Every structure is written in structure tokens, then in C-alpha cells.
Amino acid sequence: MSSFYGVELKSRLLLGTSRYPSPAVLERAVKASGAEVVTVSLRRESGAGRAGQAFWSLIQSMGVRVLPNTAGCHSVKEAVTTAHMARELFDTPWIKLEVIGEADTLQPDVFGLVEAARILSEEGFEVFPYTTEDLVVAERLVEAGCRVLMPWGAPIGSARGLNNVYGLRSMRAHFPDIPLVVDAGLGVPSHAAAAMELGYDAVLLNTAVAEAGDPVEMARAFALGVEAGRAAYLARPMEPRDMAVPSTPVIGKAALGD
């Protein structure tokens, strides 16, 4: 089980809820994934005529925990304001904090992220910061009150997998007691398995499932990938070697004459 701010979860897969072909496909994909937490953007609940009400009703019917996010926010003020609105609407102290700093890669503005995380933590929010694998930034986020860190695997929606395995492994070693979630950039279940093999506590993804040819089957495949990666980590994999080692014992091998 994984634990986030004292909440115990059986599933180590967190799933986003945008870009699905239809609400029905979204519902089936969430069920197939086994996810107990889904991320929801406040923008899905905005607009004239309570356009998001049907969507919110769907999410409520799934029986999952909601992790609202500040997706699309480019400043501290915008992110903090969005977080306040999300807490009021979704009635949860949880917030996935995004402060975007670069338009093409959607890389976090780490300076604004730390500032927003400090403000929200002081106001009672339980912050899940979307960050990079930079250890200095991670230290500042923990000092700001974050009890979970969510480094990216690759740019959001890129499906490139783990761009910096060294950095992610270093973060795991540096923060052995902080729940770590790889967030963004995963494309196939093997990417999720690789993250879990590094000892990460969970993965969060959206586009890889929502834009798959069959989102429901892809959700199921990611659930299996996460499970396999976690099992492999717990099994303590052998270390890579530079030279071959025969798997068949050579002791007792028959000696043949010329």
C-alpha cells in the first residue's frame, strides 16, 4: 500500500480524467485501472450554465478520491487562487500544484512552485507539487511543507518515458521517507514499470491512456505494469554486470578426450 498525507491506498496508479473520447470510456478506463485517485482540473467545472456539473457527477459516482489540480496556471497568484476555488468546490485539502514556466515543454516554474507550495501549505493544503527531478528544488519543496514530491518523467503528454533515470534514482535515494510519484511523460506500461523498479511509490498519467486506441485496455495494461514494477523492486533485482556469468554450473562438467 502507498500512503499520501496519511491516506492509505491499495493502488499505486493515479489517473487523469481529461482528453477521453467520452465520459463512458473514462468511467470504464478508471475502473479497469483500479485507480483510487483521479486528478480533476477546475476548468472542467467552469463555464456558463454549470457545464461541468455532469462531469462532476460522473466522478462522484466512481467512488474515487479526487486530486484537484492547478493545470494551466502560469503564476503563483493564479495557482493559489485556483487552489482555493478547488478546495471549496471539491471539499478536499489535497491539491496537485502546477505552476508552468515554459510553454513548449510545460516545464514547471520551480521558483514560483516553491513559493506557491509554501503559501498553500501554511493555509492547510496538502500539496502534491508537479516538479522536476532537481534535488535542490525538492529540498525547498519539503521545507515549504510538501510531504509528497511528483517529479516529471518527461514533458506532459510526450510519451517519452523516463528522460533522466539517473536524476530520478538520485531523488529516490535522497528522499527515502518521502512518497515519490512520477508524474507526466509516460507513454507505455513499461515506462511505469521502470519507474516502480526505481522504488517510486506511484505513477500518475493521463494522455497515455486517454489517447490510446483502446483507453480501457491501456488502463488495464498500465495497472499490470505498475504491479510488475513494484514486485520487481521488492524482489531486489540483481545488479548489472560487465561480463557474462554462465547460468549453468561448470563444476562437474564432463571432460572429453581428443
Q: Are 54 and 28 in contact (CB under 8 A)?
A: no
Give the separation between CA 34 and CA 241, rounded to whole angstroms: 36
pTM of the complete model: 0.90
DSSP H or E stretch at residue 138: helix 135-143
221-225: long-range pairs with CB below 8 Å, 24+ = 221/189, 222/13, 222/33, 222/189, 222/192, 223/11, 223/13, 223/32, 223/33, 223/34, 223/35, 224/189, 225/188, 225/189, 225/190, 225/191, 225/192, 225/193, 225/196
User: Active-site residue among 31, 77, 96, 253?
Assistant: 96
Q: What mean pLDDT, rounded, does the chain reach?
A: 92
Q: Of 98, 225, 96, whose CA–CA distance to 161 is shortest? A: 225
**pLDDT attached to residue 42:** 78
Confidence of residue 245 (pLDDT cuts 50, 70, 90): confident
Verify whether residue 77 is a known catalytic residue.
no
* Mean of pLDDT values over 37-54: 67
